[in-house]
Structure 1
Amino acid sequence: MALVVLTRAVRGHPVRPPESGMVRRRGLWTRIHLDPWLLLMLLTLMAAGLAVLYSASGQRLDVVIAQATRFGIALAALVVLAQFSPATLYRWAPVVYGAALLMLVAVEVMGDMGMGAQRWLVIPGIIRFQPSELMKLAMPMMLAASLSQRELPPRWRDLLVCAAIMAVPVLLIARQPDLGTSLLVLCAAAFVVLLAGLSWRLIAFLGALAASALPLLWLNMHDYQRQRVLTFLNPESDPLGSGWNIIQSTTAIGSGGVFGKGWLQGTQSQLEFLPERHTDFIVAVLGEEFGLVGILLFLTLYLLIVCRGLWLANAAQDTFGRLLAGSIVLTFFIYVFVNIGMVSGILPVVGVPLPLVSYGGTSSVTLLAGFGILMSIQAHRRLLPR
């Protein structure tokens, strides 16, 4: 229902905010352009995530401190971006997109290697980061700016322009290789186009076109990527090799039962049977130690964040703001869905972290920067008279 309302708003039927025509008294939160409810939920998620990370990392305090430091940087990015008006973001969208694209080219030419992939840029003594993460914001910003200049719903020539904007970054990221991030960038772009008001007939046609391209995608996959798909279909075919991760993660989740074994008491994680337990497979640690109840509490918190985000996106008063805000929130939802899906065995493993819980720096900054943009769109909206 929220997606239908948001799409209708993008098409030119805005849902008026509940304020009257009188100017509201400017409180603290209004002056600093932050949404207190969304910020509180994000802070709660990060605090709970640090507790799970402490257990998942083998009770290493240095890992928790490093993650907390990254959260601090990410929160600073949130606050800074919340101060920029949507008009400013609109003007800077081509520059941000162009800069992110140039950094992806730089990765292709001189990127730093890690775990068999060339995904990072390094500024010696300062920072090591993944430019592909920046494209998760740059792509929807550019598409939203492009579509907001055109008549909606988009026509075929508009869709061709969108396809050109999407194709080069997605292919560059896939070449690193980083299939998970390339799919997330593609999803962020697709949400902008879908929210612009595509007809169901056109959506069905594009879905059939994408399905017909799957054999081509399979032929162009790396061997380890094909193995991940085959392992997803039958993890027991190689239980001590490619199927080890998913078997151990589902075992850990199942062994937690309803209430779990208790914090720091998980056997699969603490005895190091579970690989990548502090990054991609941290949900398995959560399920083993806190059980079904713990997972449901985290899912409820994620759902509240998504619902609040969609409410703020729906309240945006221009096409650019609605398209960009909607894409940011729905991409966050995809993060959660894909991570939990791959750890529980209903999706192939693609290396997507659990938002604000898994250990990682660039992804946390990108996620909170996106929420900063969302709060900016909410805070800078004009009051409409009744």
Structure 2
Amino acid sequence: MFSLTLRRISAKTFIGSSVSAVNGCKYSSVPEATLDIQPCLLHKLEHGPPTQATVTREEAVKFYKDMVTIRRMETMAGSLYKSKNIRGFCHLYSGQEACCVGMEAAITPEDAVITAYRAHGWTYIRGISVLGVLAELTGRASGCAKGKGGSMHMYTKNFYGGNGIVGAQVPLGAGIAFALKYDNKPNICITLYGDGAANQGQLFEAFNMAKLWNLPCVFVCENNGYGMGTSVERASASTDYYTRGDYVPGMRVDGMDVLAVREATKFARDYALHNGPILIEAATYRYHGHSMSDPGTSYRPREEIKEIRETRDPITVFKRKITDNNLVTPEELKKIDQEIKKEIDKAAEQAKNDPEIPLEELYNNVYINPEPDFVVRGCDPSIRVVSR
């Protein structure tokens, strides 16, 4: 049984079936393995995702590599912020890697995703390079938006970015799903928000319209336990977020298990294409504060963070599963770790030293296809700038 009070959850609740220790044994990798995953809690659904997931060796390596890359990238972003190479807002995704990696594994590149401002992991998993993310944070021309957008405005094809206004991306996601249905495309929009945004009125308006028109939208609450510095228990009369779509069916999944997230998203995608909107609550956890200005320790005990890291960390738990099941060897994973570290270090150095865009670039890209020599009026009425 899931509990939204994540600090009360024991490790056994989420890890699934155990495997005997293999220390000292010689590994011989297998092509695939079938692992137990925690059943989802369901709302207005007769059945849910499977309670077992098959993962191939190639998938195991990819999931591990993606999660470790995001973790190291976020650690580097935190360091760059502390050294004042990154200014402004910076919200880290550390601890939540299984959400974006698992969901991306269940959708296609033509499916759409829109999320809030904790968007670095999603930006990377949707196709932007580590350099594209870090350079965007440092405001450099090699950033994915030429350094114009920073932490809250990262985009790529079919990824509609992080959005800075709490909850505002949810009706936008419903609109994207409407466009997909209007154009008869066999795709969905994954629309993500946090538990802190879950009480916004605009969410319920979006749920209503999505159900009224049966839009192919998968609403996802990444419930990391805290909205800024307020725990879910102090913010919501009902903390069963997966039930709050009313007529929209929902399910709660272990957001720290990449395979559980993948299976739940596969189920939700198929459901949304045939029946309309569905809601996923991913029970996850963030290791850092709400943003870099929040140490994250005044409203939750350090012991809580320590316990989650030791018992439920999405990377550590997945690493143990795939080595215990002989999909990969510890030596292979160690080599992957070393390669990722080099990649992150190289990208960070470039993100610190690449040039910024020239001032005349600030007025460009106002529209995707502007008229020739489109003129932009600045704050000073006497200034007219040509946009290209």
After TM superposition, the score normalised by the length of structure 2 is: 0.25
After TM superposition, the score normalised by the length of structure 1 is: 0.25
Q: Which has the larger share of strand?
A: 2
Q: Which has the higher contact order (CA 8 A, sep 6+)?
A: 1
